[in-house]
Amino acid sequence: MDICPSGLLPEAPSSTNNTGVSTAENVLDAIVVGGGPAGATAANKLARTGASVLVCEKATFPRFHVGESLLPTNVPLLQELGVEEEIRAAGSVTKHGAEVISADGEARTAIYFRQAMCPLPETTFQVERATFDNILLRAADKAGAEVREGTLVKSCVREKDHWKVVLEDDSGTTEKICKWIIDGSGRDTFLANQNRSKEMLAQHKRVSFFAHFDHVWRAEGDAQGNTVLVRTADGWFWLIPVSATRTSVGVVLPASEVRRSGLRPEALLEQAIERAPEMARRMQSAVRATEVQGTSDFSYRTGDMTGPGFITAGDAYSFLDPIFSTGVWLAMRGGAGAAETVAKCLRRPARTDRYLRRFSKREERVQRHFRRLIQYFYDPGFTDVFLRPVNAFGLRRAVGTYVSGALPQRLGPRLRLEIVLTVARLQPRLGLVPRVILPQTLAPSTP
């Protein structure tokens, strides 16, 4: 692969000696593109092995990022990176589970992590990403990685067994040489863009609009920290309590509906909330604290998760619809796996292909599993079954286990999940459970 958009590399031999030849001392083991959850986790773990790691983050942290609800599967990773207590102390909200409710509030189901069918932490966190990502990046620095904020990775080119990487910051461009690139550039998909290997996955293109609010109604007890998802016929809302007083509120709906409505983001979010009685009730006294922002939720996958001298992790590899809050966990998991893989390749270069294959196979299997569950979520049959769950035979617990991010391989939970998915597939034809009637997110056009 040869990726350099301009085809020209600036003359800035900061990593070469005065003869212009790269030397072993100035060749970094890895450059990590992006300091989000994927990049910061990868840098932290790789630096701990003694490797020389440079993380380049184009923004200056703390910076806002959407994606505030974590899964219990995140917790062991946070413990391993030594940041769990800092995240708790930063005022993150304890999350015991999630609740999914129909727009009229008539049908609902709650998932509690403590009921999972395999060992799983009983709680996790809802976080303000500005604070959370900053803690992760500072931890990478403490672990021994060099962190450069305000530094864009502009381009890279593969030469024999190393990369020449061009960085850009306020003082201009410099060139670095490294053995490995770990791409944690998120939805900027640094490597895939240069390599033109991005493949859009979703047929139905969705977008989301969101803001932070104060004084949103919350339940009491364990439920007060839960994520609440409110379902409409063509979309859903999220309510995520991100601090003692503040709640992240967003709506996800088809891009075609947004275009048809012609509404501006504030008006669109307001109208959507008014039309969903469960949302209107919870938002009755709410006061908006931030601008309404919009972003696309288009799912994609990039061509190669790994290749000669590179690994991609998190959104830089693939973006999944955020319905099950899998993004940060998949990013951290991918970052951790990328670091372990690079460390092994550095130790035993002859086995590089085998290590890379193993990493991609494992991560792609997890991605496939969630892509499948997400596809089901948007089926009306699944909504009927999910919102009016049958408790018999542990069916509800099994679904709850998988949507909590756990991947039990035992036959019991797997079989139960398949039963629920089969019932969901048959539901539209056979009407096996009472139908849940949902309104459209936005008002129909007036003729």
Ligand X SMILES: Cc1cc2nc3c(=O)[nH]c(=O)nc-3n(C[C@H](O)[C@H](O)[C@H](O)COP(=O)(O)OP(=O)(O)OC[C@H]3O[C@@H](n4cnc5c(N)ncnc54)[C@H](O)[C@@H]3O)c2cc1C
Phi/psi for 189 (5° steps) reads 40, 65
Does 59 sit near ligand X (CB under 6 A)? yes
Choice from 3, 32, 37, 155 touching ligand X (CB under 6 A):
37
Does 297 sit near ligand X (CB under 6 A)? yes
Does 97 sit near ligand X (CB under 6 A)? no
CB of 311 to ligand X, least distance (A): 13
Residue by residue, DSSP assigns 324-379 as G--HHHHHHHHHHHHHHHHHHHHH-GGGHHHHHHHHHHHHHHHHHHHHHHHHHHTS
Interface region with ligand X, contact rule CB under 6 A, candidates 53-61, 284-292, 383-391, 399-407: 53-61
Choice from 36, 72, 235, 337 touching ligand X (CB under 6 A):
36
Does 66 sit near ligand X (CB under 6 A)? yes
Interface region with ligand X, contact rule CB under 6 A, candidates 182-190, 362-370, 391-399, 436-444: 182-190
CB of 316 to ligand X, least distance (A): 6
- For helices 327-347 and 37-48, the axis angle rounded to 10 degrees is 30
Distance (Å, whole) CA 335 – CA 342:
11
Does 322 sit near ligand X (CB under 6 A)? yes
CB of 325 to ligand X, least distance (A): 4
Q: What is the 3-state secondary structure (H, E, C) of 2-39?
A: CCCCCCCCCCCCCCECCCCCECHHHEEEEEEECCCHHH
Q: Is the distance from CB of 191 to CB of 182 less than 8 angstroms?
A: no
Interface region with ligand X, contact rule CB under 6 A, candidates 65-73, 77-85, 100-108, 360-368: 65-73
Interface region with ligand X, contact rule CB under 6 A, candidates 30-38, 277-285, 349-357, 414-422: 30-38
Does 327 sit near ligand X (CB under 6 A)? yes
Classify strands 198-200 and 300-302 as parallel, antiparallel or unpaired.
antiparallel
Choice from 72, 97, 121, 186 touching ligand X (CB under 6 A):
186
CB of 328 to ligand X, least distance (A): 3
CB of 3 to ligand X, least distance (A): 12
CB of 210 to ligand X, least distance (A): 6
Does 35 sit near ligand X (CB under 6 A)? yes
Nearer to ligand X, 84 or 297 (CB): 297
Does 338 sit near ligand X (CB under 6 A)? no
Choice from 32, 67, 72, 370 touching ligand X (CB under 6 A):
67
Residues 6+ apart with CB under 8 A from 348: 355
Nearer to ligand X, 36 or 235 (CB): 36
CB atoms within 10 A of CB 432: 14
Nearer to ligand X, 40 or 385 (CB): 40
CB of 382 to ligand X, least distance (A): 20
Does 152 sit near ligand X (CB under 6 A)? yes
Does 363 sit near ligand X (CB under 6 A)? no
Rounded to a whole number, what is the distance in angstroms from the first to the last CA of the chain? 54
Distance (Å, whole) CA 230 – CA 239:
8
According to DSSP, residue 224 is labeled G
267: tokens are: 């008006």
CB of 326 to ligand X, least distance (A): 6
Does 65 sit near ligand X (CB under 6 A)? yes
Choice from 72, 121, 314, 337 touching ligand X (CB under 6 A):
314
Quick one: CA torsion of 214, 220, 224, 229, rounded to 10 degrees? -90
CB of 408 to ligand X, least distance (A): 20
Nearer to ligand X, 47 or 153 (CB): 153
Interface region with ligand X, contact rule CB under 6 A, candidates 2-10, 20-28, 32-40, 396-404: 32-40
Choice from 72, 184, 337, 405 touching ligand X (CB under 6 A):
184
Distance (Å, whole) CA 240 – CA 235:
17
84: tokens are: 């769990």
Interface region with ligand X, contact rule CB under 6 A, candidates 23-31, 314-322, 363-371, 430-438: 314-322
Distance (Å, whole) CA 249 – CA 211:
6
Distance (Å, whole) CA 196 – CA 292:
32
Q: CB under 8 Å, gap of 24 or more: what pairs does 359-368 form?
A: 359/305, 359/306, 359/311, 360/305, 360/306, 362/337, 363/305, 363/317, 363/333, 363/334, 363/337, 364/305, 366/330, 366/333, 366/407, 367/301, 367/317, 367/318, 367/320, 367/330
Beta strands in 48-151 (DSSP E): 53-57, 93-95, 97-102, 108-112, 124-126, 146-149
Choice from 185, 226, 243, 383 touching ligand X (CB under 6 A):
185
Binding residues (CB under 6 A) for ligand X: these are: 33-39, 56-59, 65-70, 152-153, 184-188, 190, 208, 250, 295, 297, 314-316, 322, 325-329, 331
